[in-house]
Structure 1
Amino acid sequence: MNKRTKIAVLVINCLQGGGAERSVLTLGQGFYDLGYDVHVLRFKPLVEYDLNSNLNYHLLRFKPYKLIPGVARRHKIFARAVDNYILNKIGQPDIVLSNLERPDNIFRYSQLSNVAYVIHSTLSLYYKFSQVNDIDKLKSKLKDIYSQHPCVCVSDGVRDDFIHHLGDITPIKTINNPIDRDGIQELAKAFVPEYQNYIIHVGSFKEAKRHDILLKAYAKTDQSLPLLLLGQGKLKSDIEQLITDLDLTDKVKLLGFHKNSYPYVKHAQFEVMTSNREGFPMVLAEALALGTPIISTDCQSGPKEMLPEQNLMPVDDIDAIADKLSQAMKNSNQFYATFDESLLPKEIAKQYLAFLKEVSN
């Protein structure tokens, strides 16, 4: 086997059960398939995924550095430690991708070359621009971070929002998250769920996913199909209480977080998403890879870029969502859509390399 001479480093805070974390692992395989030596560096030990043995994993804890007074000083010192770790333990990287808020703050001070930020969220919604008192101060901080390196946005909606609010401050390009179709289809064969003829929702119990809207809309239907919720998070107790208040305890099942949710998605009548904020909703693309029909809210970024208009619902509109749920329960096949093969990991990795090559010339 030829020795791999090119190095890709993917940096993220931890590997807990989120879409960005999953995309890092999937993109890592894409770079591996292109012949790269791939390293995933994280700052917290938490891991909730089965790790791909083709990739190398590193932990450099940020927690001890929290004792350093001053946020900027803390980040500068840790950035030097990160740079030194990468150069001494991994080697000179050909590409470094920073994912999510903590690494982005760190890599603002990195001296490494070939660094790019991956913007996974619609920034104006993630940081709640409309509720911030000193919005100019926040935007100035974000401009200071994201002007340091080129930026990749995971959807056109994320990119348009970035440019609208922060301006033309850096080279920027839309590159969607990678989807390992073949791997997903294989994992979906792992078991057959005990449930039959059901609706599936996959997502963390957090505000942006709007489980409350979903449950209130579902309560307005005839509930002819049960609703399965896969996920975990800080709002779980609120969701459990709402299920009780809406008298849905016999119809809604909370299944917790599953490392392999794909059998549930494959065997569902359809998948539903009711988020009011997404970057690139991987659960939708993964359902497409499994041939599962989908209905989704038309939130600012993501869904409209992969689904037909008839599959979309207004954000936060309980009656419209209830109506679409009822349509899908009667005939889910009308909400089938095709998978885009340009999302395969190797193809997405190629787009990253082409973008970094373009901006370095």
Structure 2
Amino acid sequence: MPHTSKPVVFIINSLEGGGAEGVMCRLLSIMKSYFLSQQTKVFLVLLDDVQQDHQAPDYVEKVVLNSKGSLLKGLTLLQSTLKKIQPQFCFSFLTRANALNVLLSKRVGYQAFISERVATSSHFAHGLKSLISKALVRVTYPKANTVVACSAGVAADLVTNFAVPQDKVSILYNPYDMDEIASKAGETVADLPHKPYIIATGRLAEIKNFSLLIDAFAKSATSYDLVILGQGELEQKLKTQANQAGIGDRVHFAGFKTNPYPYIRHAQFFVSTSNAEGFPNAIVEAMCLGKAILATNCESGPAEIIADEYPLSLDNFATKKFGCLSPVNDVESFTKGLNFLSNEQKQAHYGELSQKRAKSFSNAIFERKVIGIIEGHADKEATAYVHAG
């Protein structure tokens, strides 16, 4: 990007609690020195006027619209806003914001950079709303100037299933500040379990498949307890499942924590049983804290993080370069993983590998790649992972 005072705009549905919203705010914080050095005015446009759980940095001018989740209302409000700002480019996160960004780019006259944060095919799996969302992706995403995927798995899905040209795709892994995570992990919390425990985090929803985790935990020989951080519609069902399996006193549903890191820090190891991910922040955050990882080999992210491979096919539990993987929705294999990592020497070994791997996702690497994207010479090396088929 040449030295210019022409503004740039970042767009997202809202700053409600969520992974994509957190990454958007981290992106803006990391890019502060770059935009200030370019004398560039930066706007953050929120499509919906709802509770804001994340905080954008002070140098960013925030504009809050009130589209109430409506694509058409969002189109009208965002068009009016962007015509006033006249940006050089708009960089958006999430499907609705991405679609609007692309639709308005020619009309207003700017470059559209869009970022997909989920494996689209898996995320929009069922129902009329999912069909509409997939159609919207298929119509708009190929017309963006650049499509930024948060993992090679997400990129492959967009190329293979949504007709996004491969030469438009850049892969940008999420950024992590190891020092900040370690500092937050040192905070004192009053409700740590008294017994050694394994930890899992995430929304208590079908896609996270905590049901499999409870089944595997019940069948395992581990002596540890299990702590699950998160909230969601399946909480009571999962508690009932644990009680019926005879492990209700060993499975602790600790609810949502604004700072999960002390709980992760004190765990023996970290587990993830998701059926699908975009890029699983929780896995890398646990790696930053030196925790050994056992995860399902879902689309997308875990194989790239833990095995440094994509694509990767598994038919049983396996140890990999930086941790342990199990096939999706395979109770027996995940049980083997729980038994394997219940050995403290193995926890220490894979914990060291976790910390080594976490350094690959530093803020500095992230900043360099974002600059490459917005200056038009994005590093395309990672797209070697992507295979259209």
Corresponding residue for 1:71?
none
Greater alpha carbon shift after TM alignment, 286-295 vs 30-39: 30-39
**Separation in 1 of the partners of 2:78 and 2:350?**
46
Amino acid at match of 1:335: Y
Inter-CA distance 137–271: structure 2 relative to 1 (3 Å threshold):
closer
State how 1:209-288 maps to structure 2 within 5 Å: 209-288=208-287
Q: Displacement, 1:316?
A: 0.5
**Separation in 1 of the partners of 2:239 and 2:327?**
25
Comparing both chains, which one has the higher relative contact order based on Cα–Cα distances under 8 Å and sequence gaps of 6 or more? 1
**Separation in 1 of the partners of 2:91 and 2:233?**
28
Task: Tell whether the 8 Å contact from 2:47 to 2:74 is kept in structure 1 after alignment.
Answer: no
**Separation in 2 of the partners of 1:137 and 1:86?**
25
**Separation in 2 of the partners of 1:316 and 1:272?**
14
What TM-score comes out, normalization by structure 2 length?
0.79
Residue-pair matches, total = 344
Greater alpha carbon shift after TM alignment, 332-341 vs 157-166: 332-341
Inter-CA distance 227–7: structure 2 relative to 1 (3 Å threshold):
farther
Corresponding residue for 2:138?
143
Inter-CA distance 292–59: structure 2 relative to 1 (3 Å threshold):
same
Q: Displacement, 1:324?
A: 0.5
Corresponding residue for 2:359?
341
Inter-CA distance 7–204: structure 2 relative to 1 (3 Å threshold):
farther
Does residue 352 of structure 1 match 2:370? Answer: yes
Secondary structure, aligned partner of 2:342: helix
Amino acid at match of 2:333: A
Task: Tell whether the 8 Å contact from 1:114 to 1:356 is kept in structure 2 after alignment.
Answer: no
Greater alpha carbon shift after TM alignment, 25-34 vs 256-265: 25-34
Inter-CA distance 265–61: structure 2 relative to 1 (3 Å threshold):
same
**Separation in 1 of the partners of 2:305 and 2:266?**
21
CA distances 1:275-324 after superposition (whole Å, capped 9, x unpaired): 11011111111111121211111112111111142511111100110111
State how 1:195-214 maps to structure 2 within 5 Å: 195-196=193-194, 197-214=196-213
Task: Tell whether the 8 Å contact from 1:26 to 1:180 is kept in structure 2 after alignment.
Answer: no
Amino acid at match of 2:193: Y
**Separation in 1 of the partners of 2:368 and 2:100?**
26
Amino acid at match of 2:326: M
CA distances 1:205-235 after superposition (whole Å, capped 9, x unpaired): 1111111111111111134111111111222
What TM-score comes out, normalization by structure 1 length?
0.85
Secondary structure, aligned partner of 1:327: helix
Return the match for 1:47 from 39, 52, 64: 52
**Separation in 1 of the partners of 2:58 and 2:135?**
41
Q: Displacement, 1:183?
A: 1.8
Corresponding residue for 1:99?
93
Corresponding residue for 1:26?
26
Return the match for 2:343 from 322, 330, 336: 330
**Separation in 2 of the partners of 1:314 and 1:291?**
23
Q: What is the CA RMSD across the aligned residues, in angstroms? A: 2.8
Q: Displacement, 1:132?
A: 7.3
Secondary structure, aligned partner of 1:15: coil
Task: Tell whether the 8 Å contact from 1:50 to 1:259 is kept in structure 2 after alignment.
Answer: no
Secondary structure, aligned partner of 1:147: helix
Task: Tell whether the 8 Å contact from 2:181 to 2:289 is kept in structure 1 after alignment.
Answer: yes
Q: Displacement, 1:350?
A: 2.8
